[in-house]
Amino acid sequence: MQRQHTIGHTVSLSGMGLHSGRPARVSLSPAPVDHGIMFRRNIHGHVETCQASIRNLRPTELCTVIGSNGFRIQTTEHVLSALWGMGVDNAVIDIDSEEVPAMDGSAAPFTRSIQRAGIVRQERPRTYLKIREPIHIGNHRHAISILPAPFPKITYTIDYDHRLIQQQTREHEWSAADFQAKIAKARTFAFAHEVKAMWARGLAKGGSLDNAIVFTETGIMNDEALRFPDECVRHKILDLIGDMSLLGIHMVGHIIADRSGHALHNQLMQTILDNPDAWTLLGHHERHATDVADLAPTGTEGMRSVRTANAGC
């Protein structure tokens, strides 16, 4: 059973928001045990905070947004994926805007900063949520499941009618080294006709060839070639890790995603919470048991409180 981890010192990054088109700066700082990952913003001397939790998830399109009490941060999935993928349990993310900067469209700039800060082991065991019974949602076109497994694993499949993508399937066995080497560098992607449609709706104002792969009918618009032949499915895994971090607890199970996306990722998390008989906690103590109970969102339409009677080991 591993210990919790934080980062060694504060590191900062700045860039442009993908959808807002506004400059943004984020700083990642150490946090104590059982703190989790929290966003913080200082507006004219007034400090607002928002825990990176499913209970603070807000409905949106094309990215992951969290918010509470007027605090709203969008496009959180890449920085959260970097922290979770690198094994960081506790951190504070200070931000001076309403959107996390897109950087190069991947999680690599964040993982490099985390590595530069150093990952520090803390003196508190990490709690794991171990899947005992299969959970499945979706249909024949878009689906996601989580199955019992001896270790964390992801199998993701995408299928696009484009000669450079087509059907791609990749397995990722959860480790910080594999995440940094094989997942973090994969960039977000879009198709040229979709970009024009997003601009018409006031979205992707900060999108460019510097922070996204843009596919034409026959190739890509970017000067930089694909970083991996299957870069697109790797990025989907990156997004999934960032989204699933909102559970606030590491899972032991095999996630199988078939042409999924943010909406199904979020639905899977809620379905897990709604079915506590399908999982158990490993290595938890009293504080963690309380935190898991608190994972059920409040004030979000259609989300119900998690039952905890059978949540113990």
Longest Cα–Cα distance of the chain, Å, equals 56
- Coil, strand or helix at 67: strand
Residue written as token pair 């700082």: 29
Residue 307 lies in a domain: no
Cβ contact 249:274 at 8 Å: no
Residue 309 lies in a domain: no
pLDDT digits (tens, 9 = 90+) for 24-62: 999 999 999 999 999 999 887 889 999 999 999 987 667
Residue 308 lies in a domain: no
Residues designated catalytic: 262
Q: Where residue 235 sits, what CATH number does that domain have?
A: 3.30.1700.10
- What is the chain's mean pLDDT, rounded? 89
pLDDT-based confidence at residue 242 (cuts at 50, 70, 90): very high
Burial of 233 (0-12, 13-18, 19+ CB in 10 A): buried
pLDDT digits (tens, 9 = 90+) for 5-19: 999 999 999 999 988
Cβ contact 152:173 at 8 Å: yes
Return the pLDDT at 285: 56
Nearest in space to 115 (alpha carbons), one of 28, 54, 45: 28
Residue 77 lies in a domain: yes
Q: In sequence order, what are the residues at sequence separation of 6 or more whose Cβ sits closer than 8 angstroms to the Cβ of residue 292?
A: 127, 129, 248, 249, 281, 284, 306, 308, 311
- Counting residues of the chain whose pLDDT is more than 90, the rounded percentage is 77
Residue 311 lies in a domain: no
Residue written as token pair 């790797």: 234
Q: In sequence order, what are the residues at sequence separation of 6 or more whose Cβ sits closer than 8 angstroms to the Cβ of residue 39?
A: 49, 50, 51, 52, 66, 71, 73, 76, 93, 94, 95
Q: How many domains does the chain have?
A: 1
**310 has a pLDDT exceeding 90:** no
Which residue segment(s) compose the domain that 146 sits in? Answer: 3-294
Return the pLDDT at 290: 37
Residue 312 lies in a domain: no
Rounded to two decimals, the pTM is 0.90
Residue 23 lies in a domain: yes
pLDDT-based confidence at residue 229 (cuts at 50, 70, 90): very high
Residue 299 lies in a domain: no
pLDDT digits (tens, 9 = 90+) for 156-191: 999 999 999 999 999 999 899 999 999 999 999 999
